[in-house]
Amino acid sequence: MTTTISPLIAGNWKMNGTRASLDELTALAGMLTTGEAPRALVVICPPATILAAVARQGASAGIQAGGQDCHPAASGAHTGDLAAGMLADAGAQYVIVGHSERRANHAETDDLVRLKAEAAIGAGLKPIICVGETEAQRDSGQAETIVAGQLAGSIPDAASQHEVIVAYEPVWAIGTGRTPTNDDIAKMHASIRHKLVERFGDKGATVRILYGGSLKPQNAREILQVENVNGGLVGGASLLAKDFYTIISAV
């Protein structure tokens, strides 16, 4: 079945950015509004401290905002955490959940990631649910099995009714400058698509599957045209407006 899925390019600023970084946003907005109209939806997930500013300033250029994580609860005694509803209140429309840095640094399990995705949906956000294997898992031939397990555990049943986005990010490709071959990306994305359709039927055929991990101006064009790659989740290369714009334009 061929389904047309409009591509989405999301920038994950991680723990980078202060109010001074809003200059990059202004620069990106300028490029997006003066150049050829982008063929992709554009999302920036900045640190929470400047989320509201990004949402406000990006809007006129069609740039949407997202959080980088949320707590599964709607409110309560969770010092330092942010509820999905708070991100929505700050102007977010998306939230990344289950990024491998959170899975590794904060011991987040598939169950917790699923609860976060449910909370996001409950708050009217679109969760960007991250999955991906480590290098050792790939080397031992387990990559597809690991990712299938993460998909099964991290995507809530509510995805049959609400929009969710999946981001395939091989852990060993994040921030390393290394990427899988296009064939490997195609194989993994086909396998993810198969799992989504198996579980969610026609709805699974419409879920965006983003590729993430060292996506750069130099490799964006070829990676973004791989079958079942419906956009990208970009870390380092999203921090500079010029680089991020080049990636957006590669769609």
Kindly state whether residue 214 participates in binding ligand PGA, applying the rule CB under 6 A.
yes
Kindly state whether residue 174 participates in binding ligand PGA, applying the rule CB under 6 A.
yes
Least distance CB 213 / ligand PGA (angstroms):
5
Give the type of residue at 174.
I
> Quick one: which H or E segment has residue 208?
strand 208-212
Between residue 144 and residue 173, which ones bind ligand PGA under the rule CB under 6 A? Answer: 169
**Eight-state DSSP code of residue 38:** P
**Is 71 among the catalytic positions?**
no
Only one of the segments 1-9, 34-42, 110-118, 230-238 lies at the binding site for ligand PGA (rule: CB under 6 A); that segment is 230-238
How far is Cα 45 from Cα 58, in angstroms, rounded to an integer?
11
Tokens representing 144 are: 């597809």
How far is Cα 164 from Cα 96, in angstroms, rounded to an integer?
10
Kindly state whether residue 108 participates in binding ligand PGA, applying the rule CB under 6 A.
no
Please count the residues of this chain forming the interface with ligand PGA, following the rule CB under 6 A.
Answer: 13
**Eight-state DSSP code of residue 62:** T
Active site residue: 99, 101, 108, 118, which one?
Answer: 99
Give the one residue of 164, 213, 228, 250 binding ligand PGA; rule: CB under 6 A.
213
**Is 169 among the catalytic positions?**
yes
> Quick one: which H or E segment has residue 165?
strand 165-168
Write phi, then psi, for 125 (nearest 5 degrees): -95, 160
Kindly state whether residue 12 participates in binding ligand PGA, applying the rule CB under 6 A.
yes
Kindly state whether residue 209 participates in binding ligand PGA, applying the rule CB under 6 A.
no
Say if residues 16 and 242 touch (Cβ distance below 8 Å): no
Which residue's beta carbon is nearest to the bound ligand PGA? 235
- Could you list the residues that contact ligand PGA (CB under 6 A)? 12, 169, 174-175, 212-215, 233-237
Which residues are designated catalytic? 99, 169
